[in-house]
């Protein structure tokens, strides 16, 4: 049988209308089946779906970009300077050095004269803690 013959036979048949009662039952069944198929997805599932939709056109390009950023972060972290700062390395002068400096200042004051002796006596460095000051005075 040819398709043209089939079409001609179908065109000769009259269309019958579905009874309204059946139509309502069919629509109710379809709506209830559709409602049972619709389920709520979790946030992570929704996020995964949205990201995969966004990244789908070129996933290899996005993976390459992520790898480059990971490499940049690794290099930045490995290049950090962990050496202590020079000010932290420098230790405070020992009490013996402090005594020598005081003696040199006194000798300089004697050589220059008494008018500048007061300037020579003023300290040019930070004061020591009290425990070290006692040792300097006793020696």
Instruction: Supply angle C-alpha 111, 117, 121, rounded to 5.
Output: 115
Give me the percent of the chain exceeding a pLDDT of 90. Answer: 17
Residue 117 has pLDDT above 60, yes or no: no
CB 75 within 8 A of CB 68: no
pLDDT at residue 101, rounded to an integer: 92
Sorted by sequence, the CB contacts under 8 Å of residue 109 that are 6+ apart come out as: 116, 117, 120, 121
Cα gap 73→65, rounded to integer Å:
13
Residue 95 CA to residue 139 CA, distance in Å, equals 10
133 has pLDDT over 60 = no
For the stretch 51-66, pLDDT in tens is 888 877 788 888 899 9
- Per-residue confidence (pLDDT) for residue 114, from 0 to 100: 60
Arithmetic mean of pLDDT, 108-129 = 65
Mean pLDDT, the chain, rounded, equals: 78
Greater pLDDT, 136 or 63: 63
Q: Which residue has the tokens 């040819």?
A: 2
Q: What is the pLDDT of residues 56-96, one digit of tens each?
A: 778 888 889 999 999 999 999 888 877 766 666 667 778 89
Domain boundaries, the chain: 91-138
Which of left, alpha, beta for 109 (phi over 0: left; psi -120 to 50: alpha)?
alpha
* Percentage of the chain lying above the pLDDT 70 cut: 71
């Amino acid at each position: 049988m040819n398709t043209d013959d089939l079409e001609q036979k179908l065109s000769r048949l009259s269309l019958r209308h579905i009874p309204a009662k059946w139509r309502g039952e069919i629509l109710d069944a379809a709506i209830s089946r559709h409602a049972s198929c619709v389920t709520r997805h979790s946030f992570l599932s929704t996020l995964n779906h949205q990201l995969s939709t966004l990244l789908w056109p070129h996933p290899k390009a996005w993976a390459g970009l992520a790898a480059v950023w990971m490499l940049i972060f690794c290099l930045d972290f490995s290049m950090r300077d962990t050496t202590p700062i020079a000010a932290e390395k420098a230790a405070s002068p020992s009490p013996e050095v402090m005594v020598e400096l005081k003696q040199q200042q006194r000798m300089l004051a004697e050589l220059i004269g008494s008018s500048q002796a007061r300037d020579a006596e003023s300290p040019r460095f930070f004061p020591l803690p009290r425990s070290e000051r006692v040792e300097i005075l006793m020696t």
